[in-house]
Every structure is written in C-alpha cells, then in structure tokens.
Chains A and B, each alone.
Chain A
C-alpha cells in the first residue's frame, strides 16, 4: 500500500498508509502522527496542520490555493514548499511522499 512519511522537527519518522479520498491531515490524525493538530477540522482556517513538502515532491503534490495561502502567509516559519495538509487530497501516486513537520503548529 502507498505510504507517506512524516518527519518530525527532531528527525523522528512516522510512516502512515495513504488512502485516497482522505486529506493528508486526516491521514496524520487517523494514524496518531504527533505534530499535526488540525484544530479547525479541515477548513484551512487555523493553520495547525502545516507541513513542509520535501523539495523533490513539491511539483507532484502542487502548491497552495488562495485561501490556504492566506493562513500560510501569517506564519513566520513558512517555507517555499509549505502546505496546509488539510488541503492536500491524497493520491495513490504519492507513494513514498515525505513531508517535514514544523517544531510547533501556530
């Protein structure tokens, strides 16, 4: 089965199965990945599911949309490949995807 790896701020790796139809935030929450809060439940309205997509995957998963961008732009820790994982609809083609987690969610 396709899998994603979440890499925590201190380098710890959490692998989770990718299930099409879910968002990456849901995958993280369902699998108890620490460091993803998802306070607003997937509305791109809180910014607490922030991930930094591994550079080599950036084109495959795509960039942020306008509403998502409003939340990301307020984050002083945002990186060029930052995304809100609640706005990333999982695709089977993402097997092997790696995303990095910030030290804190804002």
Chain B
C-alpha cells in the first residue's frame, strides 16, 4: 500500500516550481509585449524573396524563415558557398551572424568545441526570456558528456535489436491502414503517425496520448524568436505547462512503479532515473524539461521530414524509384542519401570562444556562427550533382546532417533503421507512390519541414 497523501505531496513539490517558472516567464513575456506594444504583432511576415542574383552578397540573409518554403534556399546557399563561404550578415532579425556553408569548414567548426561553444542555444535566436530550458545539445563538455551518457544507452545496439521487430510491426500497421487509389496527406498519415508511435515507445509514454508528444515538439520548434517559426507565444507557454505536467506525471509514475517492484524497462525515463548524474533531474526543472524536450524534438521533426522528403525526392527523380524497385538492396544507401538530400535540420549554431581565423575570415571572440548542414550537404566540392537524389551515390554516408564531434546525433542509427524498415515495407506493398499536389512547407530557418504532401498509392498487383 502506498501513502496517497505522500504521493501527491511528492508530485506537488516538483510540479509546482516547474509550472510556476513557466507561468512566470509567460507573465514576463505578456508584460514585455504590452510595454513594447508588440502584442499580436508578428516578427516575420512572408514576402516574396527575390532571385539571388538581384541581391548584394552582403545583404543576403540566410536566416529568412521563408527561404525554404519559397524554394529559393538552393540558389542562395549555392551563391554564398561559392562566393563567400564564410559569410557575415550584420543586420539579421537575430542579430549579426556568420554563415559557414562548406562541408569542410562545417566539420572543422563542429569538431572544435574548444574554440566554438554550443552554449547557451543551438538555434540562431533565443527562446522567450526565462524559458531558457537547459539541454545537453547546448552544453559543452564535460557537463554535456555526463548528461548524454545517461541516455545514450537507449539507442545502444542491444536496444536497437530489440526495437527492430516492434518498429516493423508498427510500420506494417500504419501502412496497411492507408487508403489506396485516392489522395491523402502522407505527412499526417505516415510520417507523423510513425514518429509519434516511436516516441511513445522510447519514453514509455501512454500510447493513446502519443499525439501530445508531437504537439509539444512542434510548439518547441516553432518559436518565432528562436528560429522564425509561426507560433504564438501564448500558445507556446500553455503548451509548455501542459508538457511539464505530462512529463512530470510520467516521471513520478515510473518511479512509483519501479519502487513497487516492476521490472525496469529500456525506456529513456528509466535510464535517466537509474543514472547517478540524472536520477534527480526532476529537481532541476529547466534541465528536466530541456533534456526531455531535446529527446522528443530529436526524434520527431527529423525522422518525420526524412520520411516525407524521401517520397518527394523519389517523385522528383523518378528514375531513382525505378532503380530502387529493380534493386531493393540499395535501401540502406538510399536512406543516407535521403537524409543528405532532405537535411531535416538546417543548421546548428556556435559562439566563438576566442579570436580565430576560419577559411580566411577573422572571427572575433563572442561572434555567432551558424553551421549550415543543409548547405554542406549540397557542397559541389564533396558531392557530384549535389542537388540530385542518387540512391547509389558512393559517398552518401559522408553527409553532414547528423553533425560531427561530441554533439553528433545520438539517434542516428535508430533513424536509419526506421527509414530502412519503412522503405522495405513500402516496396513490398506499392507499385507507385505518386505526389499529386504541390507540397506545403514549414515556416522556419531551422526545421526543413514538409507540412503537406498529397500522395496517391497504387498497390502492387498480387502475383
């Protein structure tokens, strides 16, 4: 028998400060908007972006959150990559910043955490004040190393092997329910559905509430001050309160079940609770929220948009789909190539910790640098015909979408496995996967997202 009052007391102790903190930040933000008379105003209003050759090199602002949506990003990055590979923009809405656009320069910055700090944020802007939740992707060693080590095990090979069968059965469920011979939104029915199921499993989150994870993740990545996203701050704060409650409840529920003698699982919460450095994470509310947000976001937008991007790319390069059907053994290499082509997260940012020279440019201590993975993955010095999807590309694996160095994506193998299984199962079911309408894209300079992809499936004729 457990003591109900004590139980509730425990919960209140750690939930209230977290909620209070978020509510406080919300109040501050509301006041700020009132005082500055900016309430209800959007920082970013979409306007047509001119062709790149009509813009002065120095005026090019790669932080424009509509570059991807308007299909201009390719030409803009190509020009910067070739004319000013380390490019300075002095007057962006996010302040001055350097763009690092070549593959080799990005690797040099990414692996050098002594000179380039990931703190305090890895997005170009900042979240609203007092919402500066702490996550290990935005920490330098040694703090980063301890926190990452606590959760790395969830995607260790042993766990991946156990997950493979589960992932395959979920992929089958989702694909078997899809309508055939009639248009539907691939993003909702496949990409979001599959990633939500995976996330719920990784966190051991109540399965029927899995769409909350997607909702929270989307809110966390769409803040306008952070990366030019479309979200309303009031909505973000309400979502964060909801998330703080939901995740704390999950944490306490796990702890209670474990204390009652339940076998420990292989989920993230159990791992955090059984590690010396993170077992009290709940007492550090902003770190608790931050690291769980990181793990949710990390497994959400990325895989989702690679699932959508692959379908889009194979429609733009139909000969590659024929090549794939003729040789399904190409799937693993194609998965790397799709990740290269889509690059679901456009960049990571760093701050120079000392004066340094990078590809001929003098970078001052304190300067902000943005490593544009999306550009490095189209670098003509590394990839031939970089804008094309070539599923048997020899060096597809040299893509930079997972980042390099100590912050390299920890879920990379899980992501590749999910994509591989998805394509294996798609090929056995469908003859054609046709995109039948113009795709719609997300407003952001960080997430390269596809929000709507209308697809019609033609089933394979039974042999």
Contacts and interface: CB of A to CB of B under 8 A. Distances in A.
Contacts of A41: 107, 398
A77 interface: yes
A45 B404 contact: yes
A22 interface: no
A40 B412 CA distance: 14
Given A74-B145, A106-B413, A43 B404 contact: yes
Interface stretch (B36-44, B153-161, B364-372): B153-161
Contact of B152 (A76, A102, A104): A76
Interface string B121-144: 000000000000000000001000
Contacts of B412: 106
Interface in B371-398: 397-398
Contacts of A39: 397-399, 402
Interface in B395-450: 397-399, 402, 404-406, 408, 410, 412-413
A47 interface: yes
B409 to A, nearest CB: 10
B111 interface: yes
Interface in A63-87: 67, 70-71, 73-77
A73 B405 CA distance: 12
Given A39-B398, A43-B111, A45-B110, A74 B404 contact: no
B79 interface: no
A45 B157 contact: no
A65 B405 CA distance: 14
A37 interface: yes
Given A40-B398, A77-B156, A46 B406 contact: no
Nearest to A70: B406
A76 B275 CA distance: 14
Given A77-B157, A104-B160, A67 B111 contact: yes
A103 interface: yes
B211 interface: no
A43 B405 CA distance: 9
Nearest to A67: B111
Contacts of B149: 73-74
B413 A45 contact: no
A44 interface: yes
Contacts of B110: 45
Instruction: List 9 A-B pairs, minimum CB-CB distance, nearest first.
Output: A45-B404, A45-B111, A104-B157, A76-B156, A45-B405, A39-B397, A40-B404, A103-B157, A76-B153
Interface of A: 37-41, 43-47, 67, 70-71, 73-77, 102-104, 106
Given A45-B405, A73-B145, 7 more contacts: A40-B398, A45-B111, A70-B406, A74-B149, A74-B406, A74-B410, A104-B157
7 contacts: A38-B397, A41-B398, A45-B404, A46-B404, A71-B406, A74-B406, A76-B156
